[in-house]
């Protein structure tokens, strides 16, 4: 069959790598794609906000499956419009994507179905929100309800910071996303991510990961979209994973079904492993970036078969096989990220890095210029390696990073440190 993949980041390069390797995939199109995906299929300049144009493209190219990478098209209802046109599409409906699109929606679902999460209240104006934080005390967490490109959460260590966040959000600092605010209790513990493939009724585990959000070594500096990740996350033992499936994922699926908005797609649970057990921090209605770049290299089963089984509601008929290896990815970013960066600088040595055993270089913000690859964004490359453990995967990934000649770029030098300390015991 022909497959259309929507998106253009490192996550989509990793997805394209798995999709194009499937015996079921005849031709892969990526809209809009990047120079990495161009090596695996055909990049097409579709306007994915124009759903009628996407439907027309699918008809013209006999697309048998559409895989949606990022959250924005999901929240905009692209999957609903494709399905209405009888085109198979992987990802949640607009109503089900509210699990990512609205923090208040998710918190209310947790309350209704007894899913462990931080205690919370919802607010639509600053006065009552400030009264509440003064009653609760700091630290406390202030969250814009809607999608805010990673800027919608403020973990306030003082009441002054919390007040500032409330004023910023209700003052329109995040646009419509901040029209409603959720305030929740501060959770203590280690963070980890858990992924489940869902068909509305059945969920099957789809791996675990941990990422590094801070820009500098030692987890210092401002938050980013993620500077590196590894999978599996050993901290999520099989007992804890069973508990996450039972206490968090299963009741979420049951609750979404009971509400008439069954969840189909990848459910990405951001967890806090507290002394009282795993608690849900947030859901994403899609694959993670850069988590996908470490999940998919470990998948031994056919991704297309799994995605179609989810679309068709028959996940109970398949099982997935995973490599025992660990995958680790190092994000190479343009200097200045997560602030302003220079674009157009040349990157050399990608082929040399790729040539190393068990190494995959995924493109994120790159641009093809004739034979040259240029930086075209903040996070630019994901240098991924497999190894028998985190330490070996880390060593291989940094050997590959050494091959990349890009003076205007940088990366963290300690991705995986926490897991390596754990391996050393
Ligand atoms: P979110 O976008 O909801 O994942 O939040 C972004 C980050 O804020 C998370 O990865 C956590 O590090 C932190 N965070 C969110 N909610 C809480 C909470 N209730 N307690 C402590 N940290 C939190
Ligand atoms: N790496 C975080 C995310 O994809 O949301």
As separate numbers, helices (DSSP H) first and strands (DSSP E) second, the chain gives 15, 23
For 43-66, the pLDDT digits (tens) are 999 999 999 999 999 999 999 999
- CATH class of the domain defined by 190-317: alpha beta
Measured from CB, residues less than 6 Å from any atom of ligand 2 are 211, 225-226, 284, 288-289, 291
pLDDT, tens digit, 9 for 90 and up, residues 385-408: 999 999 999 999 999 999 999 999
How far is the C-alpha of 245 from the C-alpha of 197, rounded, in Å?
11
Kindly report the pTM of this predicted structure. Answer: 0.96
* Alpha carbon of 370 to ligand 2 centroid (Å): 31
Question: 382 CA to middle of ligand 2, Å?
Answer: 14
Which 3 state secondary structure label does DSSP give 307?
helix
For the domain made up of 2-94, the CATH class stated in words is alpha beta
Residue nearest to atom 4 of ligand 2 (CA): 288
Res 425 pLDDT > 90: no
Give the atom of ligand 2 at the shortest distance from the alpha carbon of 213.
Answer: 1
Give pLDDT tens digits for 204-250. Answer: 999 999 999 999 999 999 889 899 999 999 999 999 999 999 999 99
Q: Which ligand is nearest to the Cα of residue 291, counting in written order? A: 2
* Mean pLDDT for all residues in the chain: 96
Ligand 1 atom closest to Cα of 187?
Answer: 20
Q: Is the CB of 191 under 6 A from ligand 1?
A: yes
Nearest CA owner, ligand 2 atom 3:
288
Alpha-carbon span 346 to 327, nearest angstrom: 27
- Integer Cα distance of 157 and 148 in angstroms: 21
Percent of the chain past pLDDT 70, that is, above it, reads 100
What count of other Cβ atoms lies within 10 Å of the Cβ of residue 110? Answer: 21
Identify whether 414 is preceded by a cis peptide bond (ω within 30 of 0).
no
* pLDDT score for 149: 76
**Whole-number pLDDT of residue 15:** 98
Ligand lying nearest the CA atom of residue 223: 1
421 CB-near residues (< 8 Å, 6+ apart): none
Question: What's the pLDDT score for residue 178?
Answer: 87
Average pLDDT of span 166-183: 92
Q: Where are the chain's structural domains?
A: 2-94, 125-179, 190-317, 326-424
User: Ligand 2 centroid to 10 CA: how many Å?
Assistant: 11
CATH number for 326-424: choose from 3.40.50.1100, 3.30.565.10, 3.90.600.10, 1.10.10.10. Answer: 3.90.600.10
Question: Tens digit of pLDDT for each residue in 118-129?
Answer: 999 999 999 999
Mean pLDDT of 177-193: 95
* Superfamily grouping for domain 125-179: ATP-grasp fold, A domain (3.30.1490.20)
Mean pLDDT value across residues 242-259: 98
Q: Is 144's C-beta closer than 6 angstroms to any atom of ligand 1?
A: no
**How does pLDDT run across 293-335, given as a tens digit for each residue?**
999 999 999 999 999 999 999 999 999 999 999 999 999 999 9
Give the ligand 2 atom nearest the CA of 291: 1
Query: pLDDT class for 147, splitting at 50, 70, 90?
Result: confident
How crowded is residue 305: how many other Cβ atoms within 10 Å of its Cβ?
A: 14
Tokens, residue 182: 């959720």
């Amino acid at each position: 069959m022909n497959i259309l993949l929507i998106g253009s980041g490192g996550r989509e390069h990793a997805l394209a790598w798995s999709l194009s390797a499937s015996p079921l995939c005849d031709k892969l199109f990526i809209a809009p794609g990047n120079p990495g995906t161009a090596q695996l299929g055909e990049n097409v300049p579709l306007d994915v906000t124009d759903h009628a144009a996407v439907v027309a493209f699918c008809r013209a190219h006999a697309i048998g499956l559409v895989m949606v990478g990022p959250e924005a098209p999901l929240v905009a209802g692209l999957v609903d419009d494709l399905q209405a046109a009888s085109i198979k599409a992987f990802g949640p409906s607009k109503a089900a994507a509210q699990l990512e699109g609205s923090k208040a929606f998710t918190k209310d679902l947790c309350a209704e179905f007894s899913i462990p999460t931080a205690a919370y209240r919802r607010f639509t104006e600053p006065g009552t929100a400030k009264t509440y934080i003064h009653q609760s005390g700091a630290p406390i967490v202030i969250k814009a309800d809607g999608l805010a490109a990673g800027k919608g959460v403020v973990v306030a260590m003082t009441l002054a910071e919390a007040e500032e966040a409330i004023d910023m959000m209700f003052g329109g600092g995040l646009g419509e996303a901040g029209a409603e605010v959720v305030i929740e209790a501060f959770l203590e513990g280690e963070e980890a991510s858990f992924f489940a493939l869902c068909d509305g009724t059945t969920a099957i585990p789809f791996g675990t990961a941990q990422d590094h959000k801070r820009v500098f070594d030692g987890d210092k500096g401002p938050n980013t979209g993620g500077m590196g990740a590894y999978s599996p996350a050993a901290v999520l033992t099989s007992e804890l994973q069973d508990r996450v499936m039972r206490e968090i994922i299963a009741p979420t699926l049951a609750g979404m079904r009971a509400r008439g908005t069954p969840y189909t797609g990848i459910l990405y649970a951001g967890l806090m492993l507290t002394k009282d057990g795993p608690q849900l921090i947030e859901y994403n209605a899609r694959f993670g970036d850069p988590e996908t770049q470490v999940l998919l290299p470990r998948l031994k089963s056919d991704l297309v078969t799994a995605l179609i089984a989810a679309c068709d509601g028959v996940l109970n008929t398949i099982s997935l096989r995973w490599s025992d290896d660990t995958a680790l990815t190092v994000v190479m970013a343009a200097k200045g990220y997560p602030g302003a960066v220079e674009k157009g600088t040349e990157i050399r040595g990608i082929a040399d890095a790729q040539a190393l055993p068990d190494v995959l270089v995924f493109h994120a913000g790159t641009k093809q210029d004739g034979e040259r690859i240029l930086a075209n964004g903040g996070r630019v490359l994901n240098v991924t390696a497999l190894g028998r453990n985190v330490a070996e995967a880390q060593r291989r990934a940094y050997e590959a990073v050494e091959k990349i000649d890009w003076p205007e770029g940088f990366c963290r030098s300690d991705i995986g440190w926490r897991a390596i300390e754990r391996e050393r015991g």
